[in-house]
Amino acid sequence: MSDAQLNVRAVSKTFSLGGGRSLKAVEDVSFAVEQNSICVLLGPSGCGKSTVLRMMAGLEDPTEGEVTIGDKTVTGPGQDRGMVFQAYTSFDWLSVRKNVEFGMKVNNVDAAKRRERADHFLDLVGLSKFADAYPSQLSGGMRQRVAIARTLANGPEVLLMDEPFGALDAETRWLMQELMIDIAEETNTTMVIVTHDLEEAIFLADKIIFLSSHPGRLKEEIIPEFKAGKRIGDKERIIRMDGYSELEEKLMRLMREEGHRET
């Protein structure tokens, strides 16, 4: 596949720790994210997943290398990319609908269009009935759905998500993962998702980028071949498919190797 929308090219990141000390968090990482695909960044804690995602978002500058979207180099945040974090980032003094309209309002989208788009994305994430509620009245999973709807309503080409379901209980997490498959199918948004949850990675990914730790290097690029290029929106089904357990075992082995390397 050569229709990559996003390219991470030979990217390294060294953080200055003060007092003349520095930490190389990411070293010479390259990979491509194809248009309309879901790419999962996986690896042990501290391997640099968030740092790579933040460079894609333009929130950190690479020390070496570059991130490109189409033929443009990323030099800072931009409306072509939307970001969803683990922590709920809703505006608690605004209703759910106003939360989703927020970015559009900043961009001077007219009121009728804002409302129409907000209602569309609230429907997509299953929150139409809660449009007039306030975030404090919602569960964690619902608040994260507000954040996703708000980000999608701004029309990004790429959705960047950093452990988006990390704070949720197992059952809600499961439902959110299934929802993300529906959203990817419906909106054709390219997604890059950071996780350290193996099951989440296998379920969501068209491609898994596995990073090794200290510094984060590309250890393996894995296509879950057993899905045969299709997205399976049903977790119970995917877990029973031939090839699922083999991939899970492989990822567990990679995680264990990297865990041992750290100690």
Ligand X SMILES: Nc1ncnc2c1ncn2[C@@H]1O[C@H](COP(=O)(O)OP(=O)(O)OP(=O)(O)O)[C@@H](O)[C@H]1O
Beta strands in the chain (DSSP E): 4-18, 21-34, 38-42, 64-69, 72-73, 81-84, 158-162, 190-195, 207-212, 217-222
| Terminal-residue alpha carbon distance, the chain | 38
Locus of tokens 């929130």: 59
Which one of 9, 115, 120, 196 is in contact with ligand X (CB under 6 A)?
196
Closest contact distance (angstroms) between CB of 76 and ligand X is 17
Selected range binding ligand X among 41-49, 94-102, 126-134, 171-179, rule: CB under 6 A: 41-49
Q: Given the DSSP bridges, would you call strands 158-162 and 81-84 parallel, antiparallel or unpaired?
A: parallel
Closest contact distance (angstroms) between CB of 195 and ligand X is 8
47 touches ligand X (CB under 6 A): yes
CB-CB contact of 32 with 4 (8 Å): yes
- Between 3 and 22, how does the x/- string for binding to ligand X read (CB under 6 A)? ------------x-x-----
Which one of 38, 40, 42, 49 is in contact with ligand X (CB under 6 A)?
49
Closest contact distance (angstroms) between CB of 206 and ligand X is 21
CB-CB contact of 51 with 57 (8 Å): no
* Separation of alpha carbons 182 and 47, rounded Å: 29
Nearer to ligand X, 25 or 191 (CB): 25
For residues 139-162, b (16+ Cβ closer than 10 Å) or e, as one string? eebbbbbbbbbbbbbbbbbbbbbb
Surface-to-core class of residue 135, CB atoms within 10 Å of its CB (0-12 exposed, 13-18 middle, 19+ buried): buried
In this structure, the chain runs to a length of 263
Selected range binding ligand X among 46-54, 172-180, 185-193, 218-226, rule: CB under 6 A: 46-54
Which one of 45, 137, 139, 245 is in contact with ligand X (CB under 6 A)?
45
218 touches ligand X (CB under 6 A): no
Tokens of 196: 């350290």
198 touches ligand X (CB under 6 A): no
Selected range binding ligand X among 45-53, 107-115, 174-182, 220-228, rule: CB under 6 A: 45-53
46 touches ligand X (CB under 6 A): yes
Nearer to ligand X, 123 or 257 (CB): 257
* Separation of alpha carbons 218 and 224, rounded Å: 17
25 touches ligand X (CB under 6 A): yes
252 touches ligand X (CB under 6 A): no
Per CB under 6 A, residues contacting ligand X are 15, 17, 23, 25, 43, 45-51, 196
